Amino acid sequence: MSTMQEVLVTSDAAGQQWNSSIWDPVAGTSLLTFKGSTSAPHTLSILNNEYILGALPTKSVIQVWSLQKTDNTQMQIVCPGRVTSLTTTPDGNYCIAAVSENIHIWQVCTGHLLTVLSRHYQQIKCIKCTDDGTCFVTAGDDNLVIAWNLAKVLADCGNPSHQVEPDHVWSHHSLPVTDLFIGSGGNRARVVSSSLDQTCKMYDLVSGDLLCNLVFDVSITSVTMDTAEYRLFAGGSNGVIHCIDMFEMPVQKERHIEKESEDITCFEGHKKQVTCLCVSINGGKLISGSDDCNVKIWDVFSGQCTKTLDHKGMLTNVFLIPTPPALLDLNTPRNCIIKPFQRHLYIPGEQTDESDGTVTMMFNHSEKMESVVDYMSDVSSYLSQITEISDPEEELAKCKEEIAMLKSANHKLFQFAAKGILHQEEQIT
């Protein structure tokens, strides 16, 4: 189990056995299931590698489960309306949810409703966040794809007169948008949207240019790309997954006609529309979920279906996540705090109910530090290989010393600043 790089998360519309389940995509076995009702499409989301969030399709409730096996508690958060799409920022600080045509953003650790954005005219179908959490993109039934900058959106929250303008509004689609994909690269990523108008469109997030328009012969209900963005996969409403290469072959001087191209143009196997698509981190496996109640795992290069996971209902969410530490190690400390989401807009400075103005936050220091140390040891070993530096252990020790020194300096700085500020305040008073 420790070899598992990624785990697969699925949920279906029937919810007979479970609401959602975590699978080992290699073995095809279920690792963990979460019970209770069902989750609406595009609403299942992982929060800070510790929780899993899903919105009910019929009620205005978000369900929260812990990813730790031992913890069976389930939390229900009531929302202002039925949530049609939901996502969380990668750092786990904010939860972005669409309630019909409005976007609500909550701060997870306090439950404050920071802002409500209304720019869409009809129901929002999909919200996706960039990998660094700086931007998020929304798409809906009104054919619009809108890119927002999270910092800009939250900059002046609590000020009702403050109008937030999105970074980009793309209105190229002519029928409802069904799915979104954001590539890697933070705010320089590329965004792909798929729509019922039989096209996928690729945008440049930083400039807002429409990069290309891919036309298919059926409506496209889901879209994804591999990690390196070499291939684009578009799931059609007839169950065919189309593949487009996002690279161009070098011009060859000689062309041998008899040589058959072995590249794959489509994956056929689903009988009904493909609603969810994702690609494994190495780009070798494509995982698709369809209305025909099957999740299929495909080999990207040969186009073969290697595994089929049967479900009881139409698939609503299928995605891969890096294996959360909580899943492997039961003793992983908890860092994330979830407070019930508030229904009223948070106004800074205003004291609400029992909270005394303090915010409880926990930082995963220990984990971060460890990872730094690991990294350093990696680097030093690498260096020692090249330049034959005496002892990696010694180097490591040095680095640790350095870090300790930096920490103490940092602490001193903080002390000094705090003292200064306090002193100033005293003087004023």
Q: Which stretch binds other proteins (CB under 8 A): 37-45, 49-57, 234-242, 396-404?
A: 234-242
Give whichever of 30 and 238 is closer to other proteins, judged by the CB atom. 238
Using CB under 8 A as the binding rule, the residues of this chain from 190 to 209 that contact other proteins are 190, 196-198, 202, 204, 206-207, 209
In terms of Cβ atoms closer than 10 Å to its own Cβ (0-12, 13-18, 19+), residue 427 is: exposed
Q: Where are the alpha helices (DSSP H) in 220-358?
A: 325-328
Measured from the CB atom, is 83 or 191 closer to other proteins? 191
d(CA 167, CA 268): 38
Give the pair of three-digit tokens for residue 222.
Answer: 């889901």
Residue 266 lies near other proteins (rule: CB under 8 A): yes
8 by Cβ neighbours in 10 Å (0-12 / 13-18 / 19+) ranks as: buried
What's the closest the beta carbon of residue 83 comes to other proteins, in angstroms? 18
Label residue 59 exposed, middle or buried (CB < 10 Å: 0-12, 13-18, 19+): middle
Q: Which is nearer to other proteins, 165 or 394 (CB)?
A: 165
Q: Which one, 84 or 380, has the nearer CB to other proteins?
A: 84
Q: Find tokens 């891919």 and name the residue.
A: 214
The residue with tokens 């390196």 is: 228
Q: How far is the CB of 311 from other proteins (least distance, A)?
A: 15
Phi, psi (degrees; rounded to nearest 5) at 326? -65, -25
Q: Which of residues 18-77 bind other proteins (CB under 8 A)?
A: none
Query: Phi and psi dihedrals of 426, rounded to 5?
Result: -60, -45
222 binds other proteins per the rule CB under 8 A? no
Asked if residue 218 binds other proteins (CB under 8 A), the reply is yes
Q: Exposed, middle or buried by CB within 10 Å (0-12, 13-18, 19+), for 204?
A: middle
271 or 419: CB nearest other proteins: 271
Is residue 157 involved in binding other proteins (CB under 8 A)?
Answer: no
* Residues contacting other proteins: total by CB under 8 A: 50
Nearest distance, CB of residue 358 and other proteins, angstroms: 23
Based on the shown chain and the rule CB under 8 A, indicate whether residue 350 belongs to the binding site for other proteins.
no
Strand order in the sheet with 274-279: 274-279, 285-290, 294-299, 305-310
| Residues 235, 288 contacting (CB under 8 angstroms) | yes
Q: Are 311 and 14 in contact (CB under 8 A)?
A: yes
> Is residue 289 close enough to count as binding other proteins by CB under 8 A?
no
For 380, other C-beta atoms within 10 Å of its C-beta total 20
Closer by beta carbon to other proteins, 249 or else 257: 249
Distance CA(129)–CA(184), nearest Å, equals 11
Among 111, 183, 235, 239, binds other proteins (CB under 8 A): 239
Pattern of binders to other proteins over 161-190, x per CB under 8 A? Answer: ----------xx-xxx-------------x
Q: Is 156 in the site for other proteins (CB under 8 A)?
A: no
99 neighbors 75 (Cβ within 8 angstroms): no
Asked if 307 contacts 8 with a C-beta cutoff of 8 angstroms, the reply is no
Nearer to other proteins, 142 or 179 (CB): 142
Q: Considering the complex, state which of residue 77 and residue 144 has its C-beta at the smaller distance from other proteins.
A: 144
Displacement of CA 129 from its chain's centroid (Å)? 6
Asked if 425 is part of the footprint of other proteins (rule: CB under 8 A), the reply reads: no
Q: What's the closest the beta carbon of residue 2 comes to other proteins, in angstroms?
A: 39
Residue 17 interacts with other proteins (CB under 8 A)? no
Helix 365-387 and helix 392-428: axis angle, to 10°? 140
Q: Is 272 in the site for other proteins (CB under 8 A)?
A: yes
Regarding 296 and contact with other proteins (CB under 8 A), the answer is no
Residues in 93-132 at the binding interface with other proteins, rule: CB under 8 A = 119, 121-122
Residue ranges that bind other proteins, judged by CB under 8 A:
119, 121-122, 141-144, 171-172, 174-176, 190, 196-198, 202, 204, 206-207, 209-219, 234, 237-239, 242, 244-249, 261, 263, 265-266, 271-273, 291
